Amino acid sequence: MRVVVSVGGSVLAPDLDPDRVAAYAAALDEAVEAGHEIGVVVGGGPVAREYIEAARELDTTEVELDRLGIGVTHLNARLLRAALDAPSARTDGYEASVEAMAAGRIPVMGGVAPGQTTDAVAAALAEDARADLLLFATSVDGVYDVDPTADGEAVRFDELTPGELVDVVAPMSRSAGASAPVDLLAAKLVERAGLRALVVDGIDPETVRRAIVDGEFDGTEIR
């Protein structure tokens, strides 16, 4: 199976813990050993947020803030790559990443352009690579009707169509400090390409290995 994994910075590097990064790399290595083609896109997490918040006080542009975030995603991508056993490639472009996957290497991307997040990068890569599965490893265990951290009554969806995903995340993405588990552009790309996607809690990297290798998951399936 060809799989693109979006690894949120908040699950890969909530702090700079080499054991956590090594455990993530081991889960991805095991998926490759099991015969799967894997592409990875890594987020910026709390460090990106800290840079963005500091720079926002300095009266710079939103695009420049995004560039800072992108820079941190690239640092996290390098960190993960350092821990992988499987041959990897830190690429900046979709085409190079698709080629790397076809050649049996794990491309590890970060952000590519201002105005979006790495969720959208992962969705575009999944479409470009004609991936069988797009796996969002995030800090929530699926897609809810409202933000579960703000509303105790929030209900999780076990399954959504891509169109339903767009409808659910669109209102969440409008608010500041967006609470959407998957960003709106990513949802639209999933819809456009008709991708099969899973949103799972990626805090434990075993979740990622199990979803890819064993086909078992606890989260929201988009198909």
Chain positions contacting ligand UTP, by CB under 6 A: 8-10, 43-45, 48, 65-66, 69-70, 73, 111-118, 121
- DSSP state string for the chain: -EEEEEE-HHHH-SS--HHHHHHHHHHHHHHHHTT-EEEEEE--HHHHHHHHHHHHTTT--HHHHHHHHHHHHHHHHHHHHHH--S-EE--SSHHHHHHHHHTT-EEEE---STTS-HHHHHHHHHHHTT-SEEEEEESSSSEESS-TTT-TT--EESEE-HHHHHHHHHHHHHSTT---SS-HHHHHHHHHHT--EEEEE-SSHHHHHIIIII----EEEE-
Nearer to ligand UTP, 9 or 148 (CB): 9
**Shortest distance in whole angstroms from residue 12 CB to ligand UTP:** 8
Nearer to ligand UTP, 32 or 197 (CB): 197
Nearer to ligand UTP, 32 or 185 (CB): 185
**Residue with the shortest CB distance to ligand UTP:** 69
Nearer to ligand UTP, 32 or 121 (CB): 121
**Shortest distance in whole angstroms from residue 65 CB to ligand UTP:** 6
**Shortest distance in whole angstroms from residue 180 CB to ligand UTP:** 9
**Shortest distance in whole angstroms from residue 51 CB to ligand UTP:** 9
